[in-house]
Structures are given as structure tokens and as C-alpha cells.
Amino acid sequence: MNKIKYSKYANIYVLIILLFLLLVAAIILIKHIVIDNIDTNTKAVAQDDLIYFIMTDRFNNGNKDNDFEVDKNDPLAFHGGDFRGIMNKLDYIKDLGFTTMWITPVFDNEPRGYHGYWAADFYKTEEHFGTMEDLKELVSAAHSKGIKVILDMVVNHTGYRHPWLNDPKYKNWFNAKMEITDWKNQQQVENGWLAGLPDLNQNNPETKQYLIDMAKWWIEQTGVDGYRLDTVKHVPKDFWRDFTAEIKKEYPDFYLIGEVFENDINYIASYSETGIDAFLDFPIYQAIIDVFGGYGYATKLAYVIEKSSVYKNRHLMGTFIDNHDVQRFISRTISYRDERLKQAIAFMMTYTGIPIMYYGTEIGMECKSDPDNRRDMDWSVQSELTDFIKNLVQIRKSNKALTHGDIKILNAHSSFISYSRSYKNNTVIAAFNVSNISKKFEIQISDSKNKRNKIYKDLLNNKEFTAHDGKIIMEMDPRQVLILVQK
């Protein structure tokens, strides 16, 4: 009798335990679905990524209801681009092969602050772009497609008409008005009013804490994966140390890439002590313009490549050929613009660091100086350049050497440069004829004489080359690029 009773209750207990375990499993499964498909930053931005840079107002108009004070004929006015417009083009970005997008500041801006850098309220979205719910939906939709999101973060200044300027309570939140006249004077650079914009005093503990709390709030609200930090050199390093420490304490995998607008490699590298992960690589950008634009010798590129070893992690640096603050590459070239642009893009895709492509580069958009370098994206253009970029993206993704490998200059002189990228058993060689004539070039693969000849294939056109005694000798067309791997 007791055995029967015990057996009966045992079965009930087992059933309850099984139901409990099923409930726990269901909760875990639902949690993983939510985390993987909605608002998370579980995967950090890394050297395997490729960044597509968007100026929200000029990219795509997805919601006509927020098109007040829009004038497309005025290059300094709002043009209608918004969060919904970016959301509608996520498949386009993914099809290009880019894994991360960086968008210009989302703060509420003062009138005509179409670019996002004239903040009027650090805790609101710009109404021309959409609501906070729209931004959250954009981040969630991007994550569901495997695209990470970087927001532009501005802590150096406010807009010209910020309400704090007329409130005595905030008098000490700003540095005294001062024009920057000596760009070698670090005190002026940090405390001066850049382009006349009211310069925030990050040495004021209240101001500092407000800015750090604000930056954390946007992460909490939206689930974005990183910040591009604007005007880093105009803000004291002590602030950046505290800022990065606070962010990383709560979000250790959060990606921080800083803008130190400077051509001095050592100066940029000195900001690594602040804890910022990486920086926009302006020195290599300038070398790209000079060499592939047709203005200088390829040896300059080799010089910058060698010097860049001082960066704390060169694989996380941002490599770019144009952006919203400079004239587009294609409009700066001397001649043969499309071919030179292809060379510049091929270099960006085979160099160390994370490639950052400004919207419109993939269709060869032209421009003059600011604000013309912020033209509306032209969705009517079909360009063979787009397919060229897609091919390069796939080459980069298929070869770990191009994302994790070291870099070694093989040959460099006035009209030619070649370098190798190697990681484990994967080696890729990139070679560029930057001259306007066909030339015979030699690439020294190794110092040892190997009786067994090796075959190398160009990943761009499948042509094969044979290495004899550690050397490849080939005829290259004007402005030709080769990306070689051993068969």
C-alpha cells in the first residue's frame, strides 16, 4: 500500500520537475531570441567589420511627415533624410557587404543643424530625423540583419543658440569665448571655440558627469554598439580617461573610435592612453590622397605604413578615403578619376584597420568643398563601381590575412608599391602601379631561392603569375591593382 502511494506521488513530483525544466528552457530560449534579434550589442565592433558612414539628413527620406523647413535647393538646410529612410535601406547596406553603420549625431539640433553637430538638447532626438522610438526601431532592425550601429557622440560643444548660454546657472559649464589662433597650442585647441561653437568646460565636475551620464543614457535607451567620438583633440585627455573608464565599466565591449583631426601619427597615438579603442587614420588618408590621387610618390605611402606601427592596435583604426569634413576623393584626383578611385578603395580594403566608406562613394559621387561634400545620395545612379566594391568586400571577408594579418612592405618606389598581409597560413599580396604608363615590376616574395616555382592568382581578374626564386616579375597596366594569393 505504501509503495503504491509512494510511486504515485513520485510520478507527480517527476512531472512537476519536468514541467519546471521545460518552463526554464522556454524562458532561456525566448531570452536568446530577444537578445539576438532586438536591441543588443552582444558582438563588439572588431577588425572583421566594415563600416558604412551615413549623414542621416542626406541619405534617404522615409517619412514625409517630418519634412518641415526642408529645402533641397539650399545646401545648408534640412533635406528630409531620416531614421526611417535608413531603415528602408538596410538591405542595401547589407548587400554591399558592410557589417556596421555609423550615423551622424542624432541629438535635437538648433535650426539648420541638418548635420547633427549643433546640439540644442542632448536628451532628445532631432525631430527632422524621427522619434526615439524610430531610432530604437532602426537599431533593432539593423541588429536583426546582422548590422551593428555606431552613433556620433559630441561632447566638445553645443549649438550656437543652446539654452544654457542664457542661463546663469550654466555659466561655468562653458569655457570663456576664445578663438583658436595657434593650432600648436594645446590649451587653445582644448579650450577655444571651434568654428565659434560654445566650448563646454569638461574640467567642471558637473559638466563632466552630465556628459558621461548622457552618453551612457543613449546606450541604455538604444542598444547601439559604439560611438564615433567627435573632436577628440579639442577635449582634455583627463575627461576622455574618465569617460572611457565609465563606459567600459558598464559596457566592456563597446567600441570607441575617436576623431583626432591631425596628420601627426605620434600625436594621434598619444591619445591611446585615454582608453579610446582606436582613431580615424588621418595620416594614411593624406597619403592615399597624395599617392592615388596622382600628386605624390608611392614611397610616401610606404613611409606612413611603416610609421603606423606605433598605434596601440592598428587593426581597429578607421581607414577612409573621404568623409563629410573633406572633399570627396574622386573630386580631388588629377585625371583618370574612376581608376584612381578604384585603387584608393582597393588599398582601403587591403590595408590594416577597419574600412570606413562614406555613403555615395560606391557610386562615384562627386563634390566640391563643404557643404557640397554632403550632397543627397543619388539613388538613381547605377555604377559598375558598386560591383567592384562588393567584390573587394568578399575578398576581404574570405581572407583572414586582410583583417588579422601583419603588414610588410615588399617593394616601394616612386610609381609602385606592394605589401603583404599574413595570418597563419593565409598570405595576401597587394600591388599598385600608380603611374600612367605600363611598367614591368618586381615583387620580392622572399629572400631564399626556392627551386620549386610558386603560382599566384590575382583575385580581381584570375590572372596567374609564377614566382621564380622568390620573385614575381610582371607587366602592369597604368593604375592597375593586383591582389595575389598563392594557389
Beta-sheet strands, E only, within 361-469? 406-413, 416-423, 426-433, 439-444, 454-458, 464-468
pLDDT digits (tens, 9 = 90+) for 226-277: 999 999 999 999 999 999 999 999 999 999 999 999 999 999 999 999 999 9
Beta-sheet strands, E only, within 361-405? none
Residues 228, 276 within the same domain: yes
Residues 381, 417 within the same domain: no
Residues 122, 173 within the same domain: yes
Q: How, if at all, do strands 318-320 and 471-476 pair?
A: unpaired
Residues 422, 367 within the same domain: no
- Confidence class of residue 370 from pLDDT cuts 50, 70 and 90? confident
The predicted structure's pLDDT at residue 25: 56
Average pLDDT over residues 119-124: 98
Residues 20, 72 within the same domain: no
Average pLDDT over residues 85-113: 98
Q: Tell me which of 404, 429, 459 is where a domain ends.
A: 404
The predicted structure's pLDDT at residue 189: 98
Q: Tell me which of 363, 380, 404 is where a domain ends.
A: 404
pTM: 0.90
3-state secondary structure of 411: strand
Report the alpha-carbon distance of residue 413 to residue 77 in Å, rounded: 46
Range of the structural domain that residue 203 is part of: 44-404
The predicted structure's pLDDT at residue 444: 87
The predicted structure's pLDDT at residue 97: 98
pLDDT digits (tens, 9 = 90+) for 25-39: 554 444 444 433 333
Tell me the average pLDDT of the chain: 92
Q: Tell me which of 386, 404, 422 is where a domain ends.
A: 404
Look at residues 281, 286, 155, 289 and name the one whose alpha carbon lies nearest to residue 215: 155
Domain with residue 132: its CATH number is 3.20.20.80
User: Domains in the chain: how many in total?
Assistant: 3
Inform me whether the pLDDT recorded for 56 exceeds 80: yes
Residues 19, 61 within the same domain: no
Look at residues 191, 184, 189, 222 and name the one whose alpha carbon lies nearest to residue 207: 191
pLDDT digits (tens, 9 = 90+) for 143-193: 999 999 999 999 999 999 999 999 999 999 999 999 999 999 999 999 999
